[in-house]
Amino acid sequence: MNPIIGITSRQPVIKTSGGELEAHVVNKVYTDAVIRAGGTPITLPPVAPSEASRIVDRIDGLVLSGGGDIDPSFYGGKPHDDMYAIDPRRDEFEFALVREAQSRKLPVLAICRGLQVLNVALGGSLIEDIPSEIGSTDHSVRGPEVVNCHQTVKIEPDSLVAAAINNSEACVNSIHHQAVRQVAPGFRAAGWTSDGVVEVLDPDDHSWPILAVQWHPEYLAVEDDEASLALFAALVESANHQANITQ
Ligand code: MN
């Protein structure tokens, strides 16, 4: 029996036999990584935030996936021309999932936008655009090379992410133009690139198994990156405990 891992979805318009329609999409690299780690993935389309509690009742672990930018009004931010795919309905659903996950200590792997959702849901804020504010253009590498690492992240050795990957350094990819500004209460920044961009968040309460990374381990896992496989393995292991599954 495998633990059920909910994965949040994005809502692009895709071509269908009925014409161009909105879809609920989870990139296959996420489901591949969850299955490879021993979990059973299910897609979570956005629904009313009031339903988050009952969804969390039925899953053993959660992947907060990547995607478009969070509506800046949720963190007192300013609109920026490079913001894209803003979807307040998705934001509010995922904020509710985070709060429910926190109250139940549900195992979570928060990836890219997912780390940002976690931070904003719990009271933190974001840098609206890294190139405009910090000048670094090294955080947005797209295309086939996303399966390869190009940035080094230094990680606090006593963080949950360092424990999961058994390392205080990771070579990572980077597909984001926003980053954590103010860290949410109950968390600390626990990993950075050399330009000071926050790449890891760590909970003060380590009894909540939440791993939060700004990079994309689901892509690096395609090339068998050990640290990335270890992050998904740690999520599934915690989800097994959550579900009282003994292997
Ligand atoms: Mn980065």
Domain edges within the chain? 4-246
Catalytically active residues are 112, 216, 218
Distance CA 209, CA 178 (A): 24
CA 220 centroid distance within chain: 14
For the chain, give the mean pLDDT.
96
Distance CA 2, CA 37 (A): 10
Helix (H) or strand (E) holding 240: helix 226-242
Extract the residue ranges of the chain whose pLDDT is less than 50: none
Residue with structure tokens 């895709």? 14
Residue with structure tokens 């959550």? 242
Distance from the alpha carbon of residue 154 to the mean position of ligand 1, in angstroms: 12
Distance CA 94, CA 55 (A): 11
Q: Residues 149, 3, 148, CA angle at the centre, nearest 5°?
A: 5
Answer whether CATH 3.40.50.880 is correct for domain 4-246.
Answer: yes
Report every protein residue that has its C-beta within 5 angstroms of ion ligand 1. 139, 174
Q: What is the pLDDT of residue 143?
A: 87
The one-letter amino acid at 144: P
pTM: 0.96
